[in-house]
Amino acid sequence: MSPQPVRRNAPACSHCGEQAVIHQRYTGRYLCGTHLIADLECRVSDTIASQQQIMPGDCVAVALSGGKDSTALLLLLHRLFTFRSDVRLVAVTVDEGITGYREATVRSAVDLVRRLGIEHITVSFRELFGDSLDTFLKGRKPQACSVCGILRKKALVVGAERAGATKLATGHNLDDEAQSVLMNVLRGDLMRLVRNSGEDSDGLFIPRVKPLMYIHEKEIATYLMVQGIWPELPECPYAIHALRREVRSMLSGIEYRHPGTMLRLMENKKAVRTAFPGKTFGEPLGTCRECGDPCSGELCQFCQLRHSLLS
Ligand code: SF4
Ligand code: ZN
């Protein structure tokens, strides 16, 4: 819950004296709409440049679910690269087949790409895997997010390949990234904690980039709100089963009482990686014996899941 959107009797912006729309607790600043937009665009641009996430000649597949994070990501990238003829953006939407949820977000995605004039590719679980997530989850709802995550990752790669992409950008924000660090610690999965799909890919798959990885969820929501963009979307019905939901609520509480906690969690991951320069974390990547995709064991997660769904 940090930074906090400011509502009534808002203090003045730390830069211009206009009424603030957000209190950036970890920097101590209050920001008006104009300075929040400028701050976000500048920080995202810095992340992209410092990590060389997007380079001249890149075709970037932007994962667009139609929710807040991916909407903000596409808007930001469109703004940053709209006058760059050497970078191409293509939005990729995955329709998992979640009744009462995905229809609305897909509509929101279609509206956005039409407004921005960006090429759009949609892939669905039904087309790629033969049925909807709803059907795959019959009798296994508690595993919803792991099943969905593995299939969605595969579907996004197919979409990105169809777009001819050289990078795959996702809307993961600072809250998501800090939650992942903590979840990997809670699961005892230290290899996944330090592994970085982009850097450790060894050229085997399209590198994934996360331009919003240092932006708080609340900053993204306020960034959209001040521009009059507020997709009113339902919550995924399977979210209640997720460990992430519990971690999210715990971590937001800690961040509110101790601003900067999420950034410090991210620093831990970076510190471990920097302490072992050039080291490949986990088993070296090979290829799945069934589908040929890059993976660290004999079978990739997708093929393992395919077997368990069919059994
Ligand atoms: Fe998939 Fe879980 Fe997200 Fe729903 S909450 S879309 S099941 S990952
Ligand atoms: Zn496989």
Closest C-alpha to ligand 1, atom 2: 145
Of 273 and 65, the one with more pLDDT: 65
Closest C-alpha to ligand 1, atom 7: 145
User: Which ligand number lies closest to the CA of residue 287?
Assistant: 2
Tell me, what amino acid is at 2? S
Tokens of 305: 């899941």
pLDDT of residue 1 exceeding 50, the answer is: no
194 near 273, Cβ under 8 Å? yes
* Other CB atoms within 10 Å distance of the CB of residue 245: 14
Q: What is the 289 CA–ligand 2 centroid distance (Å)?
A: 7
What is the reported pTM? 0.89
Average pLDDT over residues 205-224: 95
End-to-end Cα spacing for the chain: 42
Beta-strand relationship, 119-124 and 29-31: unpaired
Q: What is the pLDDT of residues 49-71, one digit of tens each?
A: 999 999 999 999 999 999 999 99
* Other CB atoms within 10 Å distance of the CB of residue 13: 21
Give the separation between CA 45 and CA 54, rounded to whole angstroms.
10
Q: Directed axis angle between helix 217-226 and helix 174-187, to 10°? A: 160
Q: What is the 180 CA–ligand 1 centroid distance (Å)?
A: 15
* Other CB atoms within 10 Å distance of the CB of residue 280: 12
Tokens of 290: 């069934």
pLDDT at 269: 79
60 near 52, Cβ under 8 Å? no
What residues are in contact with ligand 1 under a 6 Å CB criterion? 144-145, 148-149, 236, 238-239, 242
Q: What is the pLDDT of residues 130-167, one digit of tens each?
A: 999 999 999 888 889 989 999 999 999 999 999 999 99
